Structure 1
Amino acid sequence: MIYVVEVPEQAAPRAWFAYDEADFARKVEAGDPLQPWEIFDTLSARDLLSDIGHESVDATARERYPAICALGDSHGWDAPLYRADHLLGSGVLSAEPVSEAEALEAALAARGGLTCVYRGDRDAIGAFEGADPRIAGKDNWHARRALYEQLVALEVLADDN
């Protein structure tokens, strides 16, 4: 399980969960103004040319699509390029690896406020018990309570408080 605590600047904290990384991606994408492929994508320069209907790297491709050809020439035509607009900037492709998890967490962070992601019951329980300084202490009681209620609803913790 993946647990998320969101503490918006002007609203009450809320906690939610995802069963796995695919469910996490669907839920983040559903609440984001960007398209899923803008939040995270992996493709090559050859894929980019193919997507616009140009199947070969020839003089016409070099004339019409110099930026794509420059990417292919500098990084390799089949090397993965990563897109993560919330992390890298709008439309930026990077040869430096970006994980989908990083891109999804950046999408959550772009909503503003505080966002905490816990990958597993143990981490979420630890955060509730005060192990995460972002939601520890009296001032963050409402965020911990939201996480607690989510853990109880999923029967990870017993409702004894």
Structure 2
Amino acid sequence: MIYVVEVPEQAAPRAWFAYDEADFARKVEAGDARQPWEIFDSLSPRELLDDLGHADIDAAARERYPAICALGDSHGWDTALYRADHLLGAGVLSPEPVSERAALEAALAARGGVTCVYYGDRDAIGAFEGADPRIAGKDHWHARRALYEQLVALEVLADDN
């Protein structure tokens, strides 16, 4: 399980969960104004041209899509290029690897406030018990309570309060 605690600047904290990485991606994408491929994508210059209807890297492709061709010429036509708009900037393609996890966390962070993501029951329980300074202490009681309620709802913790 993946647990998320969102503490918006002007609203009550909320906690939610995802079953796995794919579910996490779906839920982050559903709450974002950007398209899923703008949040995270990985493809080569050759794949980009092919998606645009140019199976061949010819003069017509070079004339119509000079930026894509420049990427292919400089980085290699089959080199993976990463897009993560919240992390790299809108429309930026980079040959430096970007993990989908980092891109999704950046999308959550772009919503403002504080966002905490815990990959597994142990990390989430630890955060509830005070191991994460972003939600520790009495000033962050509501955030920890939201996480606690999520953990109880999923029967990770017993409701003994």
TM-score (ref. length: structure 1):
0.98
More displaced 10-residue stretch of structure 1: 82-91 or 53-62 = 53-62
- C-alpha separation in 2, matches of 1:59 and 1:26: 39
Give the corresponding residue for 2:72. 72
More displaced 10-residue stretch of structure 1: 93-102 or 59-68 = 59-68
Give the corresponding residue for 1:44. 44
Give the corresponding residue for 2:59. 59
TM-score (ref. length: structure 2):
0.98
Give the corresponding residue for 2:150. 150
More displaced 10-residue stretch of structure 1: 114-123 or 45-54 = 45-54
More displaced 10-residue stretch of structure 1: 59-68 or 45-54 = 59-68
- C-alpha separation in 2, matches of 1:63 and 1:19: 46
**What is the one-letter code of the residue matched to 2:15?**
A
Give the corresponding residue for 1:17. 17
**Unaligned ranges ≥5, structure 1:** none
**2:17 aligned counterpart, secondary structure:** strand
More displaced 10-residue stretch of structure 1: 93-102 or 52-61 = 52-61
**Unaligned ranges ≥5, structure 2:** none
Q: Deviations over 1:62-83 (max 9, x none)?
A: 2221111110011110110000
Q: CA deviation at 1:10?
A: 0.5
- C-alpha separation in 2, matches of 1:149 and 1:59: 60
Give the corresponding residue for 2:103. 103
- C-alpha separation in 1, matches of 2:124 and 2:112: 21
**1:23 aligned counterpart, secondary structure:** helix
Give the corresponding residue for 1:121. 121
- C-alpha separation in 2, matches of 1:157 and 1:63: 61
More displaced 10-residue stretch of structure 1: 60-69 or 76-85 = 60-69
Q: CA deviation at 1:55?
A: 1.1
* Runs of at least 4 residues off by over 4 Å: none
Give the corresponding residue for 1:3. 3
**1:93 aligned counterpart, secondary structure:** coil
Paired residue total: 161
Give the corresponding residue for 2:132. 132
Q: CA deviation at 1:147?
A: 0.2
**What is the one-letter code of the residue matched to 1:18?**
A
Q: Deviations over 1:123-152 (max 9, x none)?
A: 000000000000000100000000000000
Give the corresponding residue for 2:34. 34
